Amino acid sequence: MKNRQFLLNARPEGLVKTSDFRLVEGAVPEAQDGTVVVRVDYFSLDPAMRGWMENRADYVAPLAFGDVMRGGGAGEVIASRSAQLPIGTRVAGQFGWQEYALAQPEHLAVLPADLPLATSMSVLGITGLTAWFGLHDIGQPKPGNTVLVSGAAGATGSIAGQLARIAGCRVVGIAGGARKCEWLVHELGFDAAIDYKAQDVKTEVRRLCPAGIDIYFDNVGGEILDIALANLAMNARVVICGGISRYNETGELPGPKNYFNLVFRRARMEGFIVLDYAPRFAEGRSALEAELRAGRLRHAETVIEGFERLPEALIALFRGENLGKMLVHRQPA
């Protein structure tokens, strides 16, 4: 048995390239006292990976050339020297881009045995938790609020929008393409959707949110953030979750020119990092699981088959080729 790994080979310039990674093959690690070996079956693809490759994020340890690429995953314990986690336990953790990982039990989350691993990585994973804490703690939804969500057909946005609907809000999503917009309205129960690639977002936001936006859940930043800022209702909350439109930019980045509307609308704009909520993850997961099991929360995963396609999957995420959560499934070599 061999362990394939992707190592960081270059800092990305513009969009990530496959040559930014190097595929190597080594020995499968052996479990030491108190540790376990996990076979990683699903890998999470996250826009933040672009920043991790450049050491732009201060909430994770820096990555050096030759390090295993950072990333979350889910799989099964295949060797154990820990009484806590017997062989066969399904777990999630930060395993990196490798097929087998040595891990300490205290760094792992034990997953429900009766749900697919892919579900645990999407709606019950980091992006589901991001939606939960971002919307509830920072957005503070109230029945009757108008909520605008960008990146709405992605892993975080699709859950944030549905949670807002469950909280009694009117929800408008922004996503790229007719298929994604139809999915939001016809399958997830969004009240309306704007195709930012085909429609004029400014006109549509004004038309669909005539009394203003009470909560803007932002995954993209850039011009869409500016349009949302210009259309806030009194005491609005702007949740800065992500800004994917800027992640691959190399030149100077434009600031939001409409920020001063926060003053006129007595509004609040707040960013957050979901990892800060780690002490409350169990609470968030059980709330999401309850909604899921009650049939109120739908989710999608876009699964790319084959460990060797991890770099390609990260590029596809930036091209918007995912509906819901982007995952790679490790096929046995």
Ligand X SMILES: NC(=O)c1ccc[n+]([C@@H]2O[C@H](COP(=O)([O-])OP(=O)(O)OC[C@H]3O[C@@H](n4cnc5c(N)ncnc54)[C@H](OP(=O)(O)O)[C@@H]3O)[C@@H](O)[C@H]2O)c1
282 burial via Cβ count (<10 Å: 0-12, 13-18, 19+): exposed
130 close to 104: Cβ distance less than 8 angstroms: no
What DSSP designation does 139 have? I
Q: Which residue has the tokens 């049939």?
A: 295
Q: Is 245 in the site for ligand X (CB under 6 A)?
A: yes
Q: Which amino acid is at 114?
A: D
In whole angstroms, how close is the CB of 170 to ligand X at the nearest point? 20
Q: Is 272 in the site for ligand X (CB under 6 A)?
A: yes
Q: Is 121 in the site for ligand X (CB under 6 A)?
A: no
In whole angstroms, how close is the CB of 249 to ligand X at the nearest point? 9
CA distance 272 to 267: 17
What phi, psi does 19 have (nearest 5°)? -75, -5
In whole angstroms, how close is the CB of 51 to ligand X at the nearest point? 8
Residues 209-228 that bind ligand X (CB under 6 A): 219-220
Considering only the stretches 22-30, 149-157, 258-266, 288-296, report the one whose residues sit in contact with ligand X under the rule CB under 6 A: 149-157
Q: Is 48 in the site for ligand X (CB under 6 A)?
A: yes
In whole angstroms, how close is the CB of 25 to ligand X at the nearest point? 29
Q: Is 244 in the site for ligand X (CB under 6 A)?
A: yes
50 close to 318: Cβ distance less than 8 angstroms: yes
Considering only the stretches 110-118, 254-262, 270-278, 307-315, report the one whose residues sit in contact with ligand X under the rule CB under 6 A: 270-278
Contacts of 2 (CB under 8 A, 6+ apart): 25, 26, 27, 28, 333
Contacts of 169 (CB under 8 A, 6+ apart): 141, 142, 143, 144, 145, 146, 147, 214, 215
Maximum Cα–Cα distance across the chain: 63
In whole angstroms, how close is the CB of 275 to ligand X at the nearest point? 7
Choose, by CB under 6 A, the member of 228, 318, 327, 330 that binds ligand X: 318
Q: Is 256 in the site for ligand X (CB under 6 A)?
A: no
Closest to ligand X by CB, 170 vs 325, is 325
Q: Which residue ranges make up the site for ligand X (CB under 6 A)?
A: 46-48, 126-127, 130, 151, 153-157, 175-177, 180, 219-220, 241-245, 272-274, 317-318, 320, 322, 326
